[in-house]
Amino acid sequence: MGRIAFLFAGQGAQVPGMGKSFFDGSQAAREVFETADRLRPGTSEQCFNGTADELKETKNTQPCLLTVELATARALEEAGVKADVTAGFSLGELSALTYARAMDLESGISLVMKRGALMQEASEQQDTGMAAVLKLSNEDVEKVCSQFAHVYPVNYNCPGQVSVSGAADEMADFTAAVKEAGGRAIPLKVSGAFHSPFMAEAAEQFAQELSAHAFEEPVIPVYSNFTGAAYEGGILETLSKQIDHPVKWEMIIRKMIEDGVDTFLELGPGTTLTGFMKKIDPSVKAFSIAEFADIQTAIEGMKEC
């Protein structure tokens, strides 16, 4: 077996009840939830018993997902599974940086709380949305977007799937244009036009928040959404630009494989990232760790690699 990568899920992966099995099954995971509750009272309650609508609010989604993801990582480590490299999709990049010890858990939680609040505020100031475009090449999606004043390709997920952010009053016509081009546009369950110019003010304000924190050199490589490559210093600048620039996810995964990674573990609810893996390179091993029992399944699967 080659190198192992932990992939931390992004917004949209949230589901009611997430994280409860890790809280029940792992002392290390439980400590993460306890820390989150100390800094942001009610986080565990929202994860375990919050409604889908409550969890969809960006100010709730982001701290809850980061808590669940880092609890999952701690449970994996408790079981003897550690990553050689890591990355996170959008907000998951904060989870990845925290896991890689670029910041401590308290800082990770505090920063994601601020990030979520800023992005929700930006979303509420504008009527926007996001959609996943299927069955078109990156270039074709970019071409369709160029026909609209305020629709942008923002998440380069995998071959045949690019997410876009745009003004709400342009999305219906955009969807029709995608269909005419031979593709399909599916609305996403998020509350704003993330990773686009609509988030410019949030990115600027988050940069100010980041400047108040001290960062350490990650103990393992962390791959950046903004550059598509491993961080080489400049965490503050790179992490703030991530908010209003596209996520280069397919590039990240291909770079990881080039760097010797052949086993990927998705941390967080859902299977979105493992689904991307199958389209990027079906020859590598990918496991979804959405429930505590998935840890043992992954360990057994990795033994067969």
Is 90 one of the catalytic residues?
Answer: yes
Of the candidates 123, 195, 196, 245, the residue annotated as catalytic is 195
Neighbours of 68 (CB within 10 A): 33
Of the candidates 21, 26, 44, 90, the residue annotated as catalytic is 90
Distances (CA, A) of 195 to 45, 53, 140, 295: 29, 22, 19, 32
Neighbours of 234 (CB within 10 A): 13
Please report how the helices 58-78 and 105-124 are oriented relative to each other, as an axis angle in degrees rounded to 10: 150
Is 195 one of the catalytic residues?
Answer: yes
- 3-class SS of residue 70: helix
d(CA 7, CA 268): 9
| CA 171 to chain centroid | 23
Cα atoms in the 13 Å half-sphere on the side-chain side of 27: 1
Active site residues: 90, 195
